[in-house]
Amino acid sequence: MQPVSAAFAASGHRLFLVGGVVRDMFLAEIDPDPESEVVVDDYDLTTDALPEEIRKIVSPLAQELWTQGIRFGTVGCLIGDNRCEITTHRAEEYLPDSRKPDVQYSTDVIDDLSRRDFTMNAMALEITSETPQLIDPFDGFNDLATRRLRTPVEPEQSFADDPLRMMRAARFIARFGMTPDADLVAAVSSMADRMQIVSAERIRDELCKLMVVNDPSAGLWFLHDTGLSNTFLPELAGLRLEQDPVHRHKDVLTHTIAVVAKAPARERVRLAALFHDVGKPQTRAIGESGVSFHHHEVVGARMTRERMRGLKFSNEMVRDVTELVYLHLRFHTFGSGWTDAAVRRFVRDAGPLLDDLMDLTRSDCTTRNQKKAEQLDADLDQLAARIADLQSREELASIRPDLNGAEVMEHLGLPPGRVVGEALAHLLELRMEHGPLTREQALVELDSWWSSQDRDSIG
């Protein structure tokens, strides 16, 4: 960063390193943690220079320059291997019922720091001075060291400026083990409806960032307990089912958050863990044998699809997470014994999601019954071994009929159409049930199927 800081100093302007890099630099000193590794090739900087001046200063140094954010005071550039976003000191705020900030510039870095989300992120290092100077007007370093989460200004003002900060609080609580100030919690609880002005895309991105921290539990409880999740994920509160005094069952919300924490920190698996039981409230029934949630995976898959579409997830992510929710109970008949055909169908139905489904299934065991938990792990290990054994002998990941459509049409003298599809479906079922057939065996089976068909109805 020396060429950049020198260029700003030569032009008579000050330049400050701000944001997560500064926070993580100090956090690494206070409590080394792999999650707090400092990113050294992506810099967030602020300056007293106006946007056009920033562009003039960095243009001779930059291999690339992008100015899409210049109307908000930000110029981006690539200098060497470093990506930089340089922003004029500002004090933006969101106007009522607006999703766009009203930008006002300042010449004072403290004004800029005062508009940042939390005190631990409101520190700056001046890099145009002879030696870097820490600017910490809101005692962010001590808050970071003591794991105290608070805002530089009154939380109501901070969250009014950008309501997404209320969600960001959940992520920082979970990622860094922060304890929020009581007035911060009260502000979130009273201002949750303000999230309605935030775009679905920003909410989605912040939710995903929370979902992949080491343990999202504290953040998810914060979203629930403050009522914030009601504005974008009401299904979370819906999992807090009222307990029948006679027919008790585990608290579904507590179970869900435990499953999320246990699941590998991959976005798709964690989201599936979050949604896997959302169908239970709608399917709960009390009968002679107690409480049941029949077909909650079917209802849950539909609810998952609707919610994720509302949050503007990609079609691929919606499809994958919905499928994992739909399949998450499929394993639980394995304990009664699976044939090779059942294993093949499990692998076929899971497709490329097989590893994710196995991880989700293993994470879904949160019982305190040690014997039951050990049995589930043993069953999963056995299924994995069965899959590996069959995979070594068959192409499980790409199971197809032993004849293709062209071969069926040639052998039966048929044109393309519905009947060919039915023949292939029959051959696929045979493949699933009995394993691979030779070409000769497949033709014999095809002839047997064909002879049993009603030719008049086929036409």
Residue 115 pLDDT greater than 50, yes or no = yes
Query: Would the CA dihedral through 374, 379, 380, 381 be positive or negative?
Result: positive
CATH code: domain of residue 74: 3.30.460.10
93 and 11 in a single domain? The answer is yes
Number of domains in the chain: 3
36, part of any domain: yes
Q: What integer pLDDT is reported at residue 255 of this predicted model?
A: 92
Say yes or no: 252 and 342 in one domain.
yes
Do 289 and 343 belong to one domain?
yes
**Alpha-carbon distance 271 to 135, whole Å?**
39
Residue 458 has pLDDT above 60, yes or no: no
The 3-state DSSP class for residue 229 equals: helix
In which band, very low, low, confident or very high, does the pLDDT at 36 lie, cut at 50, 70 and 90? very low
Q: Are residues 352 and 299 in the same domain?
A: yes
**Does residue 243 have a pLDDT over 60?**
no
**Domain boundary residue among 379, 397, 415?**
397
CATH of residue 250: 1.10.3210
What pLDDT, on a 0 to 100 scale, did the predictor assign at position 117? 95
pLDDT value for 260? 97
In a domain, 190, yes or no: no
- Residue 207 within any structural domain of the chain: no
Residues 240-257 as b or e (16 or more Cβ within 10 Å = b): ebeeeeeeebeebbebbb
Whether the predicted pLDDT of 246 surpasses 50: no
305 shares a domain with 408: no
298 and 423 co-located in one domain: no
Q: What is the pLDDT of residue 434?
A: 74
- pLDDT higher than threshold 90 for residue 3: no
Residue 163 confidence class, pLDDT cut points 50, 70, 90: very high
Q: Does residue 434 share a domain with residue 369?
A: no
What is the rounded average pLDDT of the residues 445-454? 81
Q: Which range has the top average pLDDT, 226-230, 242-246, 349-353, 367-371?
A: 226-230
Same domain, 390 and 448: no
Average pLDDT over every residue of 105-125: 93
Task: List all residues 6 or more positions away from 245 whose beta carbon is below 8 Å from its beta carbon.
Answer: none
Contact 183, 153 (CB under 8 A): no
Average pLDDT over residues 18-33: 84
The answer to whether residue 195 sits within a structural domain is no
Q: Which helix (H) or strand (E) holds 110?
A: helix 109-114
Cα–Cα distance measured from residue 248 to residue 230, given in angstroms and rounded to the nearest whole number: 25
Lowest mean pLDDT segment, chosen from 48-57, 261-270, 392-401, 445-454: 392-401
Structure confidence at residue 245 (pLDDT): 43
Q: Is residue 170 part of a domain?
A: no
435 and 374 share one domain: no
Pair 386, 451 in one domain: no
Q: Within a domain: residue 219?
A: no
Lowest mean pLDDT of 203-217, 276-290, 340-354, name the range. Answer: 276-290
Q: Does residue 249 have a pLDDT over 60?
A: no
pLDDT of residue 370: 83
| Domain final position from 118, 141, 164 | 141
Q: Which domain holds residue 102?
A: 1-141
Give the mean pLDDT of 129-139: 92
Stretch 360-371: mean pLDDT:
86
Q: Is residue 155 part of a domain?
A: no
Same domain, residue pair 422 and 357 = no
pLDDT tens-place string over residues 368-404: 778 888 888 888 888 888 888 887 766 655 677 777 8
* pLDDT tens track for 54-77: 999 999 988 899 988 888 889 999
On whether residue 308 sits in a domain, the answer given is yes
Same structural domain, 341 and 424: no
Which of 397, 429, 447 is a domain's end point? 397
Instruction: Please state the pTM of the whole predicted model.
Output: 0.81
Mean pLDDT value of segment 434-451: 81
